[in-house]
Amino acid sequence: MSLYAVTNPATAETVATFPTANDAGIESALASAHSAFLGWKYSAIEDRTGLLNRVADLYTERREELAAIITREMGKPTFQAGIEVDIVVSIYRYYARNGPKFLEDEELEVAAGGRAVVRKEGLGVLLGIMPWNFPYYQVARFAGPNLMNGNTILLKHAPQCPESALAMEQIFKDAGAPVGAYVNVFATNDQVADIIADPRVQGVSLTGSERAGSAVAEIAGRNLKKVVLELGGSDPFLLLDTGNVDESVQRAVFGRMVNGGQACNAAKRFVVMEDVYEEFVEKFTAALAAIEPGDPTDPKTFLGPLSSQAAADNLAKQVDAAIAGGAVLRTGGGKVSEDRAYFKPTVLTGITPDMDVFHQELFGPVAMVFRAASEQEAVALANNSPFGLGASVHTNDAEKAARVADQLEAGMVYINEPGGTSAELPFGGIKRSGVGRELGKYGMDEFINRKLIRTAK
C-alpha cells in the first residue's frame, strides 16, 4: 500500500494513492533544486517579487478547486478551506511587497573607520516537512520568505496530503518558477534522513509533532544543519475578568473549535477566575454541546470530521484516560460512531497536575477548563506545561493584561482575542513547542547568510 494516499475522513474512502519516490527520483530532485539555487541566488529582486505575485494570483484563481482538495484530504469544512487559501494569498503578497525592504543592506557603524555592511543572501536548498492540518498555509509561510531570500525549496508534505502537494507544485510551475526552485518529493522517512544529510541541503523547517521534531533535529544536528521547528502546543486562554460572559464564551468557542480544534496554536486550556468560573463553564459547555459535526462539503458546516480515523481514535483514548483518572466530563466524550472520524465537542474539568492529560496536547475539539483563585494562580497554571507556543489573556484592565502577558512563558501572547495568524506577525514558540520563527520579517531571517562586507578606510 502506498504511503501517500487521499483517504476522505468523512467517508473513510481511499480515493487516490500516489507512489513514493525511488532513490533516483530523490537524487534528481536534489540535483534540480541545487542547480536552480545557483541561478536563483543571483536573481533580480523584481524576478522574485514577480514570482510570488503570480503564485498569489493563481491561488486566487484556483480558490474553489484548492479548497475542495483539502476538504477531501483532511476534512476541513469547505468554508474554512477557502479562508485558508485566502490567508495563503496574503502571505505571498506580503513577501512580494515587503521582501525587498527586508533584504536591504544594513550599514554598520565602524569604530576603526571605513565602511561595513551586512548583506543578506540565500543559503541554498531547504527542506520543508509539512503537516496535514493546514496543507497550504503551512507551506506558504515556509516557501514565501525563503524563495524571496533566494533559497530553493524541497517540499515533503504529510502522507495524507499528496493531492494538495501536487497542486502547489503545479502552481509554482504555472507561475514560471525556475525548474528546481520548488520541488515536491513523496519521500519516505529514511529518504528524508538522507536528504537532510546531503551537503546540498542547508536547512530544514518542520511543522509537526514533538517526536518528528526531535528526530529531524537529531539528524540535522549530526550534519550541522540549521532547523526551524514548529511543534505542539497547549495554549492557555486566561479569563481574568469579563463584563460579558456570553462574549467571552464566543471567543473561547472560536479559539478552541476552528479547524476542528486541530491547530497547534488553538486555545486548549481555559483558566478562568473563580468568580465567573461556574457561569463560564455552564455556558461554554452548552455552546460546545450545541455544535453538531457535519458534512465538510456543506458550506454551513462549522465542525467536520477529524483528519483521520486514527486521529479520532487517539483523541478518544486520551479523553477516556482522563476520565478514568478522575476528570469530570461535562459534555461529549468520544467519537460520534465507532467507524467514523467525527468527534463530539468535549469539555473536561477537574483535571489536576498528577494526570497525564494535564501535560498533553489534545488535538481536536476537546477543551480543558481550570479554576483559578488569583492572578498568580492563573499564571502558574498557564505556565505549568511542557509547551510554550501561544497564550491569550482576556480582561478589561489594560494594565493587568500587560502585567500577565509579561509573565507568560510563550512565544506569542494575544490580548482580548484567541490566538490567530497574519502574514506580518511572527509565529513560533519556546520550550517543547519548538525553535525559530516564521512569518513577518523574522520569517525572512531564519535561513539566510548575513554576509559582512568590510572596506578599510
Contacts 24+ apart (CB under 8 A), 17-26: 18/162, 18/166, 18/186, 19/186, 20/186, 20/187, 20/188, 20/191, 21/185, 21/186, 21/187, 21/188, 21/191, 23/191, 25/185, 26/185, 26/187, 26/191, 26/194, 26/195
| 230 labelled catalytic | yes
Strands in 141-300 per DSSP E:
152-156, 182-184, 201-207, 226-230, 235-239, 267-273
CA angle 176, 179, 182 (to 5 degrees): 85
| 161 labelled catalytic | no
Domain ranges within the chain, ordered by starting residue = 4-231+433-455, 235-422
Per-residue confidence in pLDDT tens, the chain, 457 aa? 468 999 999 999 999 999 999 999 999 999 999 999 999 999 999 999 999 999 999 999 999 999 999 999 999 999 999 999 999 999 999 999 999 999 999 999 999 899 999 999 999 999 999 999 999 999 999 999 999 999 999 999 999 999 999 999 999 999 999 999 999 999 999 999 999 999 999 999 999 999 999 999 999 999 999 999 999 999 999 999 999 999 999 999 999 999 999 999 999 999 999 999 999 999 999 999 999 999 999 999 999 999 999 999 999 999 999 999 999 999 999 999 888 899 999 999 999 999 999 999 999 999 999 999 999 999 999 999 999 999 999 999 999 999 999 999 999 999 999 988 999 999 999 999 999 999 999 999 999 999 999 999 8
Question: What class, spelled out in words, does domain 235-422 have in CATH?
Answer: alpha beta
Q: Name the residue among 200, 140, 199 with its Cα closest to residue 172.
A: 140
Cα separation of 183 and 188, whole Å?
Answer: 15
Q: Which residue in the list 161, 169, 264, 361 is annotated as catalytic?
A: 264
Q: Does domain 4-231+433-455 have CATH number 3.40.710.10?
A: no
Instruction: Burial-class residue 105 by CB neighbours within 10 Å (0-12, 13-18, 19+).
Output: exposed
Q: Which residue in the list 84, 169, 230, 361 is annotated as catalytic?
A: 230
The amino acid present at 218, given as its one-letter code, is: E
Per-residue cell: 55 = 503564485
The model's pTM is 0.97
